[in-house]
């Protein structure tokens, strides 16, 4: 019982820890996504201000997938790619966003890429083509994709997968141990001590000094009821109903016949007697029940 409780508490603890890590991971991802959206609105606002435009709206930032976002505008605009690069760099630094990302400027009409560049944190590895050319006024979608997310998020996901694996292994281990215990129980079935006999109701037998005495199904059912009510009177009607009538069988003197058979099989132990209480029923008397 104590072992089962330990298994249960261990499994509960692991499950709670997995839920906590998973919840924190989700919270971190949601917080990251909201921060990116605020940063991109800041980038959009700076681009509009660079065009002396203080009225055009920055449209809602769209999250295209887990690490890709889209910035768009209410009206057409023109801008110099170098200004775009500076705006992204300053805003991402201000909001402490990852320093590995790719930016694509896409034309609304044909969805062709009008301009793109990639930042890899180290300046010598950055890919920034044609930064001096001004993009003419038009409708643009600016998409940014983070090529490497923050390390802590990756580590938390790995930890989450590891914990899920441990939890699964723990559940499998508990299942097989319980199965093994059940198999052991089947190999070593429980018995009821009955004087010098061992009564195995599941195997329909009595054992006395390693000698097996077979019992019929009815004998076993009858003895099981008497043992459960040892030294007490069990009414004849109750025995008849439970063993025969509940199974749709009507009996005459069957009960007396089976009582007689049980007496013969228990006769080698004088401490056990099945007595007839006239007009009432039977009583299994055990003078030295062990």
**Least confident segment among 79-83, 92-96, 146-150, 216-220:** 146-150
- Residue pair 41/119 in contact by the 8 Å Cβ criterion: no
CATH topology of domain 192-286: Arc Repressor Mutant, subunit A (1.10.10)
pTM equals 0.46
- Nearest to 68, CA basis, from 119, 142, 143: 143
Q: How many CB atoms lie within 10 A of CB 15?
A: 15
65-74, 247-256, 266-275: which has the minimum mean pLDDT?
A: 247-256
**What's the pLDDT score for residue 128?**
59
Position 15 pLDDT exceeds 90: no
Handedness of CA 55, 60, 63, 64 (dihedral sign): negative
Q: Does the structure show a pLDDT above 90 at 5? A: no
Query: Mean of the per-residue pLDDT values for the chain?
Result: 81
Mean pLDDT over 117-143 rounds to 75
| 276: nearest Cα among 215, 235, 245, 238 | 235
Burial 119-144 (b: 16+ CB within 10 A, else e): beeeeeeeeeeeeeeebeeeebbbbb
Q: Where are the domains of the chain?
A: 2-152, 192-286
Across residues 133-151, what is the average pLDDT? 85
**HEC letters along 52-65:** CCCCCCECCCEEEE
- Please compute the mean of the pLDDT values over residues 155-168 and round it to a whole number: 70
**Which among 267, 283, 266 is positioned nearest to 275, based on CA atoms?**
283
The values of phi and psi at residue 281, to 5°, are 175, -145
């Amino acid at each position: 019982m104590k072992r089962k409780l330990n298994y249960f508490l261990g499994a509960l603890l692991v499950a709670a820890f997995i839920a906590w890590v998973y919840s924190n991971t989700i919270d971190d991802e949601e917080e990251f996504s909201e921060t990116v959206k605020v940063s991109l609105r800041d980038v959009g606002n700076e681009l509009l201000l660079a065009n002396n435009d203080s009225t055009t709206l920055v449209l809602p930032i769209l999250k295209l997938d887990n690490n890709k976002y889209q910035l768009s505008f209410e009206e057409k605009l023109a801008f110099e790619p170098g200004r775009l690069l500076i705006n992204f760099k300053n805003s991402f630094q201000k909001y402490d966003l990852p320093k590995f990302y790719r930016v694509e400027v896409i034309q609304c009409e044909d969805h062709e890429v009008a301009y793109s560049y990639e930042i890899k944190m180290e300046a010598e590895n950055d890919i920034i083509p044609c930064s001096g050319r001004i993009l003419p006024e038009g409708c643009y979608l600016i998409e940014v994709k983070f090529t490497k997310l923050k390390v802590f998020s990756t580590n938390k996901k790995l930890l989450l997968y590891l914990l899920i694996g441990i939890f699964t292994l723990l559940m499998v281990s508990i299942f097989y141990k319980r199965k093994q215990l059940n198999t052991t129980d089947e190999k070593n079935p429980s018995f009821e001590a009955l004087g010098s006999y061992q009564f195995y109701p599941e195997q329909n037998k009595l054992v006395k000094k390693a000698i097996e005495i077979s019992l019929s199904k009815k004998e076993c059912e009858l003895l099981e009821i008497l043992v459960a009510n040892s030294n007490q009177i069990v009414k004849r009607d109750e025995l008849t109903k439970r063993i025969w009538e509940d199974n749709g069988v009507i009996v005459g003197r069957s009960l007396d016949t089976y009582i007689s058979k049980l007496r013969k099989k228990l006769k080698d132990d004088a401490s056990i007697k099945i007595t007839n209480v006239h007009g009432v029923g039977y009583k299994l008397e055990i003078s030295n029940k062990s």
